[in-house]
Amino acid sequence: MNRLIFQLGTNNWQSEQEFAPGSGILHEQHHNTYNDLDGVACYSVFPSRVQRFDRPDVRVFPLEHDIPICESVSPVSSYRWHSMSDEEFDAYRVRLRDFVTAYIDEVEAELGRPFDLFIAHHAFLNPMVMGDVNRARVAAGRPAVPLMAFVHGTSLLMFRSEMAGDDPEYPPRFYPRWIQEGVFDAVDGVFVISNSQKERFLSVFDTFDAAKIFVTPNGIDPRVFRVDDTLKRDEVLARFPTTPYEGSAAASVNIPPGYERVVLFVGKFADIKRIDCLLHAAVVYERATDLRVATVLAGSGPLENQKLYQDMAVELGLSHVYFVGPHAQPALAALYNIADVGVFPTKFEAFGLVFLECLACGTPVIGTAAGGPLEFVDETVGELVTDFESNEEFQKALGETITRALVENWKSHKAKAALDVASRYTLTVQCDRILKGVDALAARSHA
């Protein structure tokens, strides 16, 4: 074994008992990818209120409440860090540090060697905790382990909201503490998923050495997200009955056969995803074409958001919109395959992994001209719509763009380019880039 890695994740992994958000899926995929690489062994910790298994290479940090989140909306939790008291936050920090330390010590004792690399996911608590772990190691006369932060997710958005100081939901509480404690002074390097994310990180932590930040774009698992020519549209859609929100008067229905086109959205039900804009756009493209078009939305969120969007579809008179709830990756891959276009109108995507998942299944994409997708989406694989100041203008432009995609049957002539783009963004490529970045930092420190 040439390299021993420990990762601390922010969200739960996927299981039969518990749906996982994107960052939890990404952590699990990285864990498995590292362990598939020659000469690499990876161990991980992630939190969960539901899961309680222990594997030699994975431990679950047990919670008695939902996983705390930086954002206001998550598919699996609405328990925000800002709702904790200072005493509760400090207790959580200490308990996580002690749990991680005990597991690391156990693995090192069993293997008879120290870890070579710590990776803390996100920019919030995990880099702080892993810095605590390293300081305790040094105090005990042991060398610190190189610590990298893999910055993805919404923690930077939370910090920026605190910095602005004009949002009562995000009072300046954690950001001043991160600066005061010098959390990122204890971090040897940072990995981000796009150039726009790098700029955003530096806008928050402007004293961090930009030369220690590496762009490692997200990757997909080509064993899951791939073209499957055996799938039939009507058969796949029949597997996804609708999931009315709790308390809805609507009953679950099966998607009927016979649709000529399918528009697909995959993601959490949060304001930033702008599902409302997609629904208003659906009014445009349902009326602008004689094609029979189904709009399928896969994902979930807090009950109030489920209700908001499902009721909105009814109020807009949309009779071909289907909310099918959250699903695991293999099921999503089937939907990507039979869709004609994936539409992801998020206000700002740090990277846009759903775009790549869709492209890897040979399906063109439409999104917003902002953030990570600008780096890999062009006219050969889809289109990014200008983000007008008014929602009305954006919704109209989005509807017109989707209409063109459906009428011109983009999938028939953009599928090959979509596959070519997706092939450049795999998990193996991303994890290899991360390890090369670690080696570059080590070489620099010894120069």
What's the alpha-carbon Rg for the chain, to the nearest Å?
22
The C-alpha atoms of residue 9 and residue 31 are separated, in whole angstroms, by 10
Question: What pLDDT does 289 receive?
Answer: 86
Q: What is the pLDDT of residue 75?
A: 62
The residues, any chain, with a CB within 8 Å of residue 22's CB and separated by 6 or more, are 268, 353
| pLDDT for 15 | 84
Q: Would you state the pLDDT for residue 180?
A: 96
- CATH placement of domain 233-422: 3.40.50.2000
The structure tokens listed for 429 are 């490529």
Separation CA 282–CA 288 (nearest Å) = 10
Tell me whether domains 3-219+426-446 and 233-422 share a fold.
Answer: yes
Could you report the per-residue pLDDT of 259-309, keeping only the tens digit for each? Answer: 999 999 999 898 889 999 999 999 999 998 889 999 999 998 889 999 999
What does the longest C-alpha to C-alpha distance in the chain come to?
A: 73
What is the CB neighbour count within 10 angstroms for residue 244? 17
At 447 the pLDDT is 63
pLDDT digits (tens, 9 = 90+) for 179-207: 999 999 999 999 998 888 899 999 999 99
> Amino acid identity, residue 281?
A
Q: What is the pTM of this model?
A: 0.82
Provide the residue ranges of all domains of the chain, joining segments of one domain with +: 3-219+426-446, 233-422
At 270 the pLDDT is: 85
DSSP helix/strand/coil, 313: helix
Within 8 A by CB and 6+ apart from 425, the residues are 217, 218, 219, 220, 356, 376
Q: What per-residue confidence (pLDDT) applies to 409?
A: 97
CATH superfamily of 3-219+426-446: Glycogen Phosphorylase B; (3.40.50.2000)
Q: How far apart are CA 270 and CA 268, in angstroms?
A: 6
In the sheet that 54-55 helps form, which strands lie side by side, from edge to edge? 54-55, 58-62, 40-48, 3-8, 117-121, 147-151, 189-192, 213-215
pLDDT of residue 196: 86
Sign of CA dihedral 190, 194, 196, 200: negative
Q: Which pLDDT score, from 0 to 100, does residue 76 have?
A: 65
- The pLDDT assigned to 444 comes to 83
Measured CA to CA, the distance from residue 212 to residue 215 in angstroms comes to 10
Which residues of the chain carry a pLDDT beneath 70? 1, 72-76, 447
DSSP 296: E
